[in-house]
Amino acid sequence: MKKKHKGKQKLKCSKKKNKHHIRPKSRGGGGGENLVLLCMACHNKLHHDFGTMTPDEIIAFLVTHYWNDQWFWVKKSLDRFSHINKLGEKV
């Protein structure tokens, strides 16, 4: 399975999965709900691009460096998901 990315770089997803801490362990993240499975290629790319940033820091980085400080789009996107709880169930 290939994932296409804009530009010259293409990322080939691997079958081998790796646990990823959404909030890095080094930044206070534990297990359980903080863990997701990613293919090795995507996991390595994520850490290459964002290091040990927390989800909030990643969003702030993208808004500041790529989206010209337009926080409006982040709020608009979050509002679209306000009807879904953390288990993915409609509320």
Summarize pLDDT for 2-46 with one digit per residue, the tens. 455 455 566 788 888 999 999 999 999 998 989 999 999 999 999
**What 3-state DSSP class applies to 56?**
helix
Which of 23, 34, 89 minimizes the C-alpha distance to 56?
A: 23
Examine the pLDDT at 91 and tell me if it is beyond 80. no
> Which pLDDT belongs to residue 1?
43
Q: How far apart are CA 40 and CA 20, in angstroms?
A: 10
Average pLDDT for the chain: 82
Q: How far apart are CA 38 and CA 54, in angstroms?
A: 17
Is the C-alpha dihedral spanning 66, 87, 36, 21 positive or negative? Answer: positive
Q: How far apart are CA 17 and CA 54, in angstroms?
A: 21
